[in-house]
Every structure is written in C-alpha cells, then in structure tokens.
Structure 1
Amino acid sequence: MVQCRICGGPVEEFFDFGRQPVSDSFVTPQTAGSEFYFRLAAGVCAECTMVQLVEEVPREQMFHEDYPYRSAGSVVMREHFEKYAHQLLGTELAGEDPFVVEIGSNDGTMLKTIGRAGVRHLGVDPSAQVAGFARAEGVRVRTDFFQDGSAREIAAADGPANVIFSANTVSHIAYIDSVFRGVDALLAPDGIFVIEDRYLGAIIAQNAFDQIYDEHFYLFSVTSVRAMAERFGFELADVEPLAVHGGSMRYTIARPGQRAVSAAVTEHVERERETGLTRPETYHRFAQHVRESCRELVRLLTELREEGRSVVAYGATAKSATVINYCGIGPDLVPFICDNTPAKQGRLAPGTHIPVRPSEDFAKPYPDYALLFAWNHAEEIMAKEREFRAAGGKWILYVPEVHIV
C-alpha cells in the first residue's frame, strides 16, 4: 500500500492510466522515442483525503531549462493575474516596504505588474528559459526550485515576505514538506501564503480526467488543503472559487491565529462531505466515467476517419498527453495539433508523436472537425476562431462528456 506524501496514511489507488510520457516532453523528429516514461496512477488518502499520484516523476524531467509553458499565452490568464496583482497592491502589499515572493513565477505575468508599482518582489522558477522572459519584463527572478534551503537563503538576503504566492505550482511539488518548511522560514509573522490551483471538486464534477498528469502530483480540495496546512503548522484562513482552468480555488494560508478563518472554509468542507468528495466510492465512479469517455472519443474519431472527415486537434497542452496516450490517439486519427507556442511548433506530442504545427495552419484549409485539447480556454479560442465555425467547422470536446459543438 502506498503511503500518503502528506500524512503517511494509506492511499487507495482508483485509476491507472498506464505507461505515460512526461507530459511536456515535446520531442523533435530526431529525438522521438527518447521520452521518459512512468506509470500514471492516482489514489486518495484514507485519512487526510488528499488525491495524489502513486508514482513521482523526478522534477528535473518536468521542470527544466526548456520548459515550454508560458502564462502570457492566454489573454484570460494575463488578465486574471493582473487583476490579482492589483488586489494585492491594494491590500497585503500596501504597507511600508512590502515584499512578495512567487513560487513558479514562469514568465513573470503576475510579478511584472507588482514590479512596475515599485514593490520589492522575487520570482522563483527552475526554468531558465521562462525566467529569461520574466527578466525581460523587469521581473527579478531566482532560477531555482523553491524548498527549505532556497527559502532560507531568500529570507537572509531579502527579509520576511508579506505574501508568498503560487499559481498552479504547489500541486506539482511532491516534496511539499520542504516547501512548507521554506514558507515557515520566509513568511512574515502576519503574512499569507496564497495558493491557486485546479479544484478537485470541479475535476470530478466535470469528468476532467486529463487534469491528471505528471505535473499534477496532488489534486487539491478544501478538505485536504486544510489538513495539509494544519499538518505543517499553518491554518487555512480563506478560500475563493475561481473560474480559470475549468474551475480553480484560491487558498489563503496563514500562521495559526493570525487571520480570522472565514465561513467559506467551513462551508466548502461541509459541501465536499455532502457531495462525497471525501469518500473512495466517488473516485471509483469517476474512474468508470473516464473509461466510458475514452471509449466514446476513440469511437467518434474512428467513425469520422471512416467517413472521410478531416480532423485536427487544437492546443498542444500538457494535459493532452494523458488523453492521447491512454486512448491511443495517434496521427492516424489526428494528423496534427495546432498550437501558438513557438517552442512546441515543429515538434511531436509526447508518446504518440502527433506533429505540432503553428495555429496559422488551422485555416490551411479548415478541417471538418477540431478536437479541442485546450477545453479550459474554449470560450477564448472559439471567439478567436469564429471563421472556422462560419466555414462549417465543428468542435469536438470530451469534458464533461464527448460532444460536438
């Protein structure tokens, strides 16, 4: 039995996606087949209810110099982070000489707004490439992993942080005990540690199974984050649902007694109990829905191919690796994927080696159908690609079930 990485309790496995490549390992035609593989399986802790992967991928395999994801690639995410940056500037960072640290600062989309306001800041990110983009925006970055040792060095050099912020990163870090020791060393006595991440409740409700991949070592709920905070000597003070990424949650963590615990925390914990998010049978039902969705998606793509319909994919996302490799979707069903990330173009999707081409190729000519891997940005993408619909094109989505738009 696997032990929980948070509390040491028994973890019950509920789904095995089999042998999977590292999700962001978009290879060149010359290096195809060199991907690192691992067993992608998820389980739930019987004690603290934390959903987690049962096998850890070495962090250097995922977050390296050539890590291709950029927050600025989405208008929605740019606006989201700019809005929160202004919120912090008007509240937690409004005092005398405030200091903010972002774990997983990526291309500096959030911190550049804070930096331009003249506030002391530091981004911590292990990818030299995205750190370079951030520095070009005037953001101060330390190219490193955030953990106990690096946090202590930051505290010694810059003093305590009023805010430690992290979006879609803390759930990636299996060694979360070291992260919390680092937060303890760096955070001011009355400071806050703010985590934004995809919400487990939304993932289960929407059957968003592709949110399970190597980078998402943990899938957070309010119940499990509260237990995690307490385990490491902190307190979950507030939660706020967010619309981004198909449903996320913002968790505000503080030292015990420093912040009043909002009613929202208790309300969400109770709601999770009522909806079964703390019970193993919920995850076994989810597993059945995953199997059904994958069978239906392959059936639809196969029928379209046999009918002579053209199908391409849109959005070479990390989460698409789970879909194409578990379902066995290769170039025979989807000849190529369109994506606007230059670092992915001309490369092959990990595992099944579907070619990735520039977004401009989507209209050369338009296909009959487009399989939308970036479904969490559906509104933004469909607005951008109105001419595809006008030309008679249709979108294929698989969340919450396989359907055509």
Structure 2
Amino acid sequence: MSIPTPSHTTPCRICGGAVERFLDLGDQPLSDAFRKPDETDDEFFFRLEVGRCTGCTMTQLLHEVPRERMFHADYPYRSSGSTTMAAHFRAIARRFIAEELTGSDPFIVEIGSNDGVMLRTVAEAGVRHLGVDPSAGVGLTAQEQGVRVRTDFFEERSALEVVADEGRADVIYAANTFCHIPYLDSVLAGARALLGDDGIFVFEDPYIGDILRRRSFDQIYDEHFYFFSATSVGAMAAQHGFELVDVERLDVHGGEVRYTLARPGRRTVTQAVHDLLLEESTSGLDRAEPYESFARAVMAIRDDLRSTLERLRDEGRRVVGYGATAKSATVNNFCGIDRDLVAVVYDTTEEKQGRVTPGQHIPVEDMSGFATDPAPIALLYAWNHAEEIKRKEQAFADRGGRWLTYVPEVRLD
C-alpha cells in the first residue's frame, strides 16, 4: 500500500506558511514494523519527503503516517536498551527532583514514557508522577518497575482528563517523542491546561542543525515528523502561549537540543537561547541553501554506500548489520540495501529477533550471533552509539573486523 506523493509545497503544520520540499527519500515502510518472514505481503509504504517552512522555518515531513500504525501495543523500541541513554535519563530525573520537584506535593508528567527508564528514578524518590504512552507493551514494562502509566496518546483531551484526576504538573517532559507528533497544536493546548503557572515543559529531540552538519539523513523517518531548531521552536512557542526560556545542546542520538518552555514572563530567558538563535542565523538555518546542500550530500552518500557494498559483495566479503534501528529502514530502502548486500542484522531487542527488516526484509537475529559470525565487516546502523558499541565489541576488532559507517560520509574503519 502506498500513499500518493504530495506536491512540491504543502502548508506548514505549525504556522500555515509554505513548506518547500528539499529532500525526497522515496517510498518507505514503517520504520519499526519488523514482520515475520511470511507476513510481508501487505506491507505499508508512504512517500518520505521533508521540507522547510519559509515562514516559521520549521522542518517537517510532507506527509503524515497515521499514528496508530506506528505506536501500538507491539511497539518494539525500548529506551533503556542503551546504557548511555539509561544514564542520561537518570541524570535528568535527578535534576528535576533537585531543581523543580521541590514543593509539598510535586507532580511530573512524561509524554512518551516508554519503558519508564526516566520515571523509575522519580518513582524511587517518592515523587508523584505519571507517564502517558499509547504503547501498552512498553507501558506494562514500566508498570512492572513501579512507574504509573496511562496508556493513551497525549493531546488536549487526555491532558484535561489528567488535570481532573491529578491536578496540574510542575514539569512536563518528553524525550524523543515531541517531534513524533504532527498535531502539536493539540499537544501544546494540553500542556497549557496541565502545566502549573510556574511549571516548565521540557522536551529533547534531534536538532536540525546537527542533522545538516553531520549529514545524518537516517534521522528522517516516519516517526520523526518535525526537526526542531531554536528559531522554529521559539516561533511555535509564541504562537501557543509559551516562551522559549532555555536550550541545552546534547551529544546523544547524533545531536539533540533540550528545549525548555514556560508561560511568558515566568522565567528569565537564558543567554543560551540568545546564543543559539544567533548561531542559527549566522549558519543560515533560516535560508534554503544549507538544506539544498544537505540534499546533494545525501545523494552522494547513497551512491557511495551502495557501490561500496556491491564491491564488497563482488569480492566475496560477507557484510552483516549491527543494530536493527528505526533509522536503518531509511538507509536500507533509500539505498536499495537488501540481503544480497547485507546478510543479516544483529540486534538486542527480542521483539525484532526472528523477523525481517522493514521493506528490504533482511533477517534480524539475536545479538549473541554477532560474536561467532565470521563476517569481516559490520554495517553500523546504530552509529549514534558507536563509542559504546565499539567498546562492547572489542573482540570483533581484535579478530580483524571492520566497521562500515555512512555518517557523515562512507568510511570503512
């Protein structure tokens, strides 16, 4: 099943301005739809195109995939799967506890709480909390760890119900979730209703400046609908009754920014906000050229990666994949990488093992097989965890194994 390709421009979902397409990544499957090998006949595809609003500058997909197709009971991603990210979430939880959740009965709500990796620290501290996540499977995992979860999509309706049941929140937090939601008007209306007068709404997501700089085109897939900058977030916040009061650069997931919104005039706008806005203006994030340059670089990476894999195949050198990430769906389908070029992908997520990758149907196997696989080359899809992975897989390098990466360019190390 395929959705018709939209026109070159489309209305901005934030301000209504004109969104100009700068990159077309072709027909793509759902990035986390890992199916059984005999259940791939009716696979869903959509056109993955991305553009930039000429008004508010928000980068966004040109077409929306129905949310129920992506986020459901069998959603396979687990936030706690990386030790680096688990430590990251424990740290932000401790910061909230120390700096924001200090009243007589503080309350924090997390949008997209996943398996509860952040809220576990909050729960252990005895702080009132609630996770809101539509995926029942990961929600059950969180509840088994002592985290309170509401299985639902966060929007104005559900936020008003939380207010009625729980009262208003001191902190609303979302990590790698806010950018997933096309209907941000409803989410922000819900946040206005739920947030206390002096509360903060904090979210962290991939930063468009880092994506352009690092050429990390695989950050673009169905679940990532928006790609934020301080400029676009500031415009969006003002339109919906908030003010951007702080930003923090994060070196996770290939480069993110943590944005803090508050009600206008309730918090002092930090110097970090002014600095990042100036940096974005200087680098041209509000103009078309960096996006067009990025698109040209992406096409070159596609051609180079495919030709490299074809050469390795022709030389009789077995290549395996490491990390059945959501990002890998974009890479495999845009570059035409199938099991003829990558024999198997190894992954730690049980829900993906024994299945095949979206679109190209490369088998996914238990990560334990990587240790005994004689393949001399591994295509590192999970490049954003490269440092952690290479430490963990030192034995692979010791036996002469080499890592093939494609961000910011194709390299065989």
Q: Distance in 2 between matches of 1:313 and 1:365?
A: 11
Tell me if structure 2 keeps the 8 A contact 1:29–1:348: yes
SS of residue paired to 1:245:
coil
Q: Offset of 1:162 from its aligned partner?
A: 0.1
Tell me if structure 2 keeps the 8 A contact 1:366–1:388: no
Q: Offset of 1:306 from its aligned partner?
A: 0.6
Matches within 5 A, 1:23-34: 23-34=31-42
Q: Is 1:386 matched up with 2:394?
A: yes
Runs of 4+ in 1 over 3 A off after TM superposition: none
Q: Offset of 1:67 from its aligned partner?
A: 0.3
Q: Offset of 1:32 from its aligned partner?
A: 1.3
Match of 2:102 in 1: 94
SS of residue paired to 1:347:
coil
Q: Distance in 2 between matches of 1:214 and 1:12?
A: 18
Q: Offset of 1:36 from its aligned partner?
A: 1.3
Q: Is 1:354 matched up with 2:357?
A: no
Q: Paired residue for 1:160, among 153, 157, 168?
A: 168
Q: Offset of 1:364 from its aligned partner?
A: 2.1
Q: Distance in 2 between matches of 1:257 and 1:311?
A: 56
Amino acid at match of 2:335: C
1:171-203 C-alpha deviation (Å, 9 max, x unpaired): 000000000000011000000000011111111
Q: Offset of 1:159 from its aligned partner?
A: 0.4
Match of 2:23 in 1: 15
Matches within 5 A, 1:135-174: 135-174=143-182
Q: Distance in 2 between matches of 1:258 and 1:190?
A: 6
Q: Paired residue for 2:200, among 187, 192, 195?
A: 192
RMSD: 0.6
Q: Offset of 1:365 from its aligned partner?
A: 2.5
Q: Distance in 2 between matches of 1:380 and 1:225?
A: 31
Q: Is 1:221 matched up with 2:229?
A: yes
Tell me if structure 2 keeps the 8 A contact 1:36–1:61: no
Q: Is 1:79 matched up with 2:51?
A: no
Q: Distance in 2 between matches of 1:181 and 1:366?
A: 54
TM-score normalised per structure 2: 0.97
Match of 1:5 in 2: 13
Q: Is 1:275 matched up with 2:283?
A: yes
Q: Distance in 2 between matches of 1:95 and 1:269?
A: 33
Amino acid at match of 2:94: H
Match of 1:180 in 2: 188
Q: Offset of 1:33 from its aligned partner?
A: 2.8
Q: Paired residue for 1:375, among 380, 383, 388?
A: 383
TM-score normalised per structure 1: 0.99
Amino acid at match of 2:23: F
Q: Distance in 2 between matches of 1:214 and 1:366?
A: 34
Amino acid at match of 1:173: I
Q: Offset of 1:367 from its aligned partner?
A: 1.2
Amino acid at match of 2:78: R
Q: Distance in 2 between matches of 1:377 and 1:35?
A: 29
Most deviating of 99-108 and 269-278: 269-278
1:333-363 C-alpha deviation (Å, 9 max, x unpaired): 0011000000000000000000000111112
Q: Is 1:124 matched up with 2:132?
A: yes
Match of 2:3 in 1: none
Q: Is 1:255 matched up with 2:263?
A: yes
Q: Distance in 2 between matches of 1:33 and 1:217?
A: 26
Q: Distance in 1 between matches of 2:114 and 2:373?
A: 34
Amino acid at match of 1:104: G
Amino acid at match of 1:401: E
Amino acid at match of 1:114: V
Equivalences, count = 405
Q: Paired residue for 1:266, among 264, 274, 279?
A: 274
Q: Distance in 1 between matches of 2:392 and 2:32?
A: 24
SS of residue paired to 1:87:
helix
Q: Offset of 1:276 from its aligned partner?
A: 1.3
Q: Distance in 1 between matches of 2:366 and 2:285?
A: 40
Match of 2:4 in 1: none
Q: Distance in 2 between matches of 1:271 and 1:105?
A: 32
Amino acid at match of 2:314: E
- Segments of 5+ residues of structure 1 without an aligned counterpart are none
Match of 2:49 in 1: 41
Q: Distance in 1 between matches of 2:73 and 2:43?
A: 16
1:149-169 C-alpha deviation (Å, 9 max, x unpaired): 000000011000000000000
Q: Offset of 1:261 from its aligned partner?
A: 0.4
1:266-290 C-alpha deviation (Å, 9 max, x unpaired): 1101101111111111111100000
SS of residue paired to 1:319:
helix
Q: Offset of 1:246 from its aligned partner?
A: 1.2
Q: Distance in 2 between matches of 1:30 and 1:53?
A: 31
Percent of pairs with identical residues: 57
Tell me if structure 2 keeps the 8 A contact 1:336–1:354: yes
- Segments of 5+ residues of structure 2 without an aligned counterpart are 1-8
Match of 1:109 in 2: 117
Amino acid at match of 2:320: V
Amino acid at match of 1:365: D
